[in-house]
């Protein structure tokens, strides 16, 4: 079955430190990969995507993600975390059949 | 402003009473989809539509219906709601132009919190 895994339900990081939110996928073919962020009582907002090309993708708000085909991973990263980055983060994959698969989400808390 | 609009935002209903959650987008997107979000399960796709009159099941379609009579609208219908359909629902739309710098980024609505008692 196609799936996206986010192994950490919760990630805590101190403000100013680098952050990583992990994502691995099991989707056939060459899936499109995404990161979305959800703030309380809001819909999901797009952060970045990988379609093809450079394995390091830069997105909104200083976030970036590294695609690793051999490890089927697409980890989200930011060099210096802000308190305002605290939110729920979702990794997603789209297959060639146009279905999308989301991970279970990782709650990021940035501690002042 | 590009947006996906869902209504209502909050709904409490009783078991068995048919309801419809509306979704409308103003971006002329071909692709629209519905998700439900449950704690510990993330978002699961219910139905999706590639274009007018073209719909297909996602991962959890049981108990739901959709229709796509117009490009901008994609209502979610619960013919006989049950308590296990209590959830937070999101509608999303995206372009199918994979070469676009924006596609296939999905735009999400604000969500509809449904409670079935």
Number of C-beta neighbours around residue A82 at 10 A: 14
Q: Does A46 touch chain B (CB under 8 A)?
A: yes
| DSSP per-residue codes, B31-43 | EEEEEEEETTTEE
Q: How far apart are CA B108 and CA B111, in angstroms?
A: 8
User: 3-class SS at A110?
Assistant: strand
A44 with B98: Cβ contact below 8 A: no
pLDDT at residue B4, as a whole number: 93
Q: How confident is the model at residue A95 (pLDDT cuts 50, 70, 90)?
A: confident
Mean pLDDT (chain A) is 91
Question: How close is the nearest chain B Cα to the Cα of A64, in Å?
Answer: 16
* CA contacts within 13 A on the Cβ side of A36: 26
Whether residue A6 is predicted with pLDDT greater than 80 in this model: the reply is yes
Residue ranges of chain B with pLDDT lower than 50?
A: 99-103
Q: How far apart are CA B89 and CA B108, in angstroms?
A: 10
Whether residue A85 is predicted with pLDDT greater than 60 in this model: the reply is yes
Q: Does B44 touch chain A (CB under 8 A)?
A: yes
pLDDT at residue B103, as a whole number: 47
A98 with B50: Cβ contact below 8 A: yes
pLDDT at residue A62, as a whole number: 93
pLDDT at residue A51, as a whole number: 84
Q: How far apart are CA B21 and CA B69, in angstroms?
A: 15
- The stretch A93-106 carries a mean pLDDT of 82
- The stretch A13-29 carries a mean pLDDT of 95
pLDDT at residue B70, as a whole number: 96
Question: Mind listing the pLDDT tens digit for each residue in A60-75?
Answer: 899 999 999 999 999 9
Q: How far apart are CA B12 and CA A109, in angstroms?
A: 31
Q: How far apart are CA B17 and CA A91, in angstroms?
A: 35
């Amino acid at each position: 079955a196609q799936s996206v895994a986010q192994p950490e339900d919760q990630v805590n990081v101190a403000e100013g430190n680098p952050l990583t939110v992990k994502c691995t996928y099991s989707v056939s073919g060459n899936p499109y990969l995404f990161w979305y962020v959800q703030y309380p009582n809001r819909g999901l907002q797009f952060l970045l995507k990988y379609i093809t090309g450079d394995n390091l993708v830069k997105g909104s708000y200083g976030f970036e993600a590294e695609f690793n085909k051999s490890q089927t991973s697409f980890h989200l990263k930011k060099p210096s975390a802000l308190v305002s980055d605290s939110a729920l983060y979702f990794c997603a994959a789209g297959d060639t059949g146009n279905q999308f698969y989301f991970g279970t989400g990782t709650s990021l808390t940035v501690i002042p | 402003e590009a947006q996906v609009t869902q209504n209502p935002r909050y709904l409490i209903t009783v078991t068995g009473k048919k309801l419809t959650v509306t979704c409308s987008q103003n971006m002329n997107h071909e692709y629209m989809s519905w998700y439900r979000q449950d704690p510990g399960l993330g978002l699961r796709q219910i139905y999706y539509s590639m274009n007018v009159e073209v719909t297909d099941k996602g991962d959890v379609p049981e108990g739901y219906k959709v229709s796509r009579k117009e490009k901008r609208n994609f209502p979610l219908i619960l013919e006989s709601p049950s308590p296990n359909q209590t959830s937070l629902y999101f509608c999303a739309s995206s372009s199918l132009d994979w070469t676009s710098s924006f596609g296939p980024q999905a735009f999400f609505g604000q969500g509809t919190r449904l409670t079935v008692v």
